[in-house]
Amino acid sequence: MAAVFPTWILIVALLFEAAVVMGSFPATLKLERKILLASHELELNQLRERDRLRHGRLLQSSSGGVVDFPVMGTYDPFLVGLYYTKVQLGSPPREFYVQIDTGSDVLWIGCNSCNGCPQSSGLQIQLNLYDPGSSSTASLVSCSDQRCSAGLQSSDSGCSGQSNQCSYTFQYGDGSGTSGYYVADLLHFNSVLEGSVITNSTAPIMFGCSVLQTGDLTKSDRAVDGIFGFGQQSLSVISQLSSQGITPKVFSHCLKGSNSGGGILVFGEILEPNMVYTPLVPSQPHYNLDLRSISVGGQVLSINPSVFSTSNNQGTIVDSGTTLAYLADEAYDAFMSAITNAVSQTVRPILSKGNQCYLITSSVNDIFPQISLNFAGGASLILNPQDYLVQQNSIGGSASWCIGFQKIQGQRITILGDLVLKDKIFVYDLVNQRIGWTNYDCSMSVNVSTNINTGRTEFVNAGQMSNDGSSRDQIRGMLALLLPIIMLTAYPVRIPPAAQCAKQWVGYFHGCLFFSFFFFFLLTVYLHHQPCKITGFRGLL
């Protein structure tokens, strides 16, 4: 038995190593999210003011695999009032929480030399400041850099002749805003390409390093580390990654409307059979849509279509960085009158701090009419009562529900914020210059296409994303483990005469071992190539 014992030790050791690998395969990243919400409450007039600040800039500023981001936050203005995600930047990578904003283009983060950056957040997240000096892959962006020149065309960058450093200033309505300079560094992300999960992927990107924040950005109650601009201009991350062939030039989100919040955010196209699309208005700096009419309870409102036409500082914009929704001045009164007339026999209308509200003792879905925003191409955005109403408080046995749509005084601009974007899939197809949507439960799974130029559609599973290596690497590891075991089973073991009685059992064990691992390997390869799905974020963070 002296010659057999070392062989058994080697087999057991290899089996133990295989068990460790197999026990974690397929490795998964649990996409279970829950937001620990602050108890702060905001009045609607405060929300209007906060949204107005960001609208100042809206009025002034004139491929590869699926990249999957976590989503946190909720539309509820009395809890969070924004959706945000987490990005990793630098070497070594550090995590930063940034607001998801389709109304701007640039990703910017508060820097270590920032004046006015909040030090804590009521969202119960750990705020971090980016330090270019502590990242081995960081570099400053000069005025002569091609990317800086591209940003000059869209007013997203500026240049100082003295420092030759590419900079930016984003100013909001009352003077609040941010300014800083651009840096280039590595973005770390989870990417899925052709069915394989690839972790620890990186790509060089250019983003803003904020050294000054003023006004609303300095407040701590809902503070994050920065803003993630998802616009279509050249400095947006989606444009940068697609130009490198890393991702398709399309992204999608599904923002969960319940109090637990969260949702799905991917660089890729969510595929749903009930999607409707409308073309983007060309040559616009934002995601402008051609709104043609509004229907309340199936009746088209008598509003001059010119109110919705797109021109300078006029039109309809999709903006995830806005909490509520806003109607052009000349459309607002007709909209409010139609709703009030539809419910006047059932509920009691009241004014609460300048907002039109209603005291309700039953479900709003049984009382309030359905609203339809009708766009070019025959696409309609259907809004159920909870897509345009906000519950403010309770009075006795009644609940006070207020109209979430607000008026932008003296402006012909309509902004679709989180209130109407929630509980729907939205696809921003920049290649075909269109936006699509459909009502959806954002806690459910979705199919996502990774097609860039291959002519194929892949389906991926974000629930199998891992920080330990790709599934293809895991298969290679399996082969590496199987090879020596197969060699052991194939190589004749020299057994001394005294142990001939055990020879038959050893051979039997070798055969079973070989076929067991061979079967498991075939099963692994089969599962590796099966279509999967992106999984929503829900549960505990």
CA dist., res. 447 & res. 256, Å (int): 17
| 418 classed as catalytic | no
Q: Token pair for residue 413? A: 């601009």
CA dist., res. 328 & res. 289, Å (int): 14
| 379 CB neighbour count, 10 Å cutoff | 20
Which residue among the candidates 51, 76, 101, 429 is catalytic per the annotation? Answer: 101
Hey, what amino acid is at 276?
V
The DSSP line for 62-111 is ----EEEE--EEES-TTTT-EEEEEEEETTTTEEEEEEEETT---EEEEE
Q: Token pair for residue 346? A: 């059932």
| 423 classed as catalytic | no
CA dist., res. 207 & res. 202, Å (int): 15
At residue 306, φ and ψ (nearest 5 deg) are -65, -20
On the question of a cis peptide bond just before residue 92, with omega within 30 degrees of 0, the verdict is: yes
By C-alpha distance, which of 371, 385, 386, 375 is closest to 437? 375
In which element (H, E) is residue 405 found? strand 405-408
CA trace torsion 93, 99, 102, 107 (10° rounding)? -40
The SS3 assignment for 400 reads strand
List strands edge to edge, sheet with 348-352: 348-352, 355-360, 398-403, 389-395
Quick one: DSSP state of residue 134?
A: G
Cross-strand bridge partners of residue 426: 253, 437
Q: Which residues contact 146 (CB under 8 A, 6 or more apart)?
A: none
Phi-psi category of residue 469: left, alpha or beta, with phi > 0 → left and psi -120 to 50 → alpha: left
On the question of a cis peptide bond just before residue 496, with omega within 30 degrees of 0, the verdict is: no
CA dist., res. 354 & res. 467, Å (int): 50
Which residue among the candidates 290, 319, 423, 429 is catalytic per the annotation? Answer: 319
Angle at alpha carbon of residue 190, lines to 17 and 522, rounded to 5°: 40
By C-alpha distance, which of 72, 78, 11, 73 is closest to 44? 78
CA dist., res. 50 & res. 103, Å (int): 15
| 498 CB neighbour count, 10 Å cutoff | 9
What positions carry a catalytic annotation? 101, 319
